[in-house]
């Protein structure tokens, strides 16, 4: 996998809510089918790698519990 610091990270559209925020790397996800996700407050911290299906499930879960 590409190193996290070389990915183009994008903040979640919910990041301005003042709550916990995540970033993801959509260009990498499009190219590989793997979706990197990290905490926007800790850009040097660890990140998750999810399948597209798992990421979609995470988004649906967040929408239903937001």
Convert the pLDDT of each residue in 7-33 to its tens digit: 999 987 765 555 668 899 999 999 999
Using CA atoms, how far apart are residues 21 and 33, in angstroms rounded to an integer? 22
pLDDT confidence tier of residue 62, bands split at 50, 70 and 90: confident
Q: pTM of this prediction?
A: 0.76
pLDDT greater at residue 54 or residue 17: 54
Residue-averaged pLDDT of the chain: 84
Query: Please, which residues bridge with residue 39 across strands?
Result: 22
Inter-residue contact 38 to 23 (CB < 8 Å): yes
Domain boundaries, given as residue ranges, for the chain: 4-64
């Amino acid at each position: 996998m590409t190193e996290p610091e070389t990915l183009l990270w994008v903040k979640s559209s919910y990041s301005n809510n003042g709550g916990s925020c995540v970033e993801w790397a959509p260009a990498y996800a499009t190219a590989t089918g793997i979706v990197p996700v990290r905490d926007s407050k800790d850009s040097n911290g660890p990140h998750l790698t999810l399948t597209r299906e798992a990421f979609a499930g995470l988004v649906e879960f967040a929408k239903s519990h937001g």
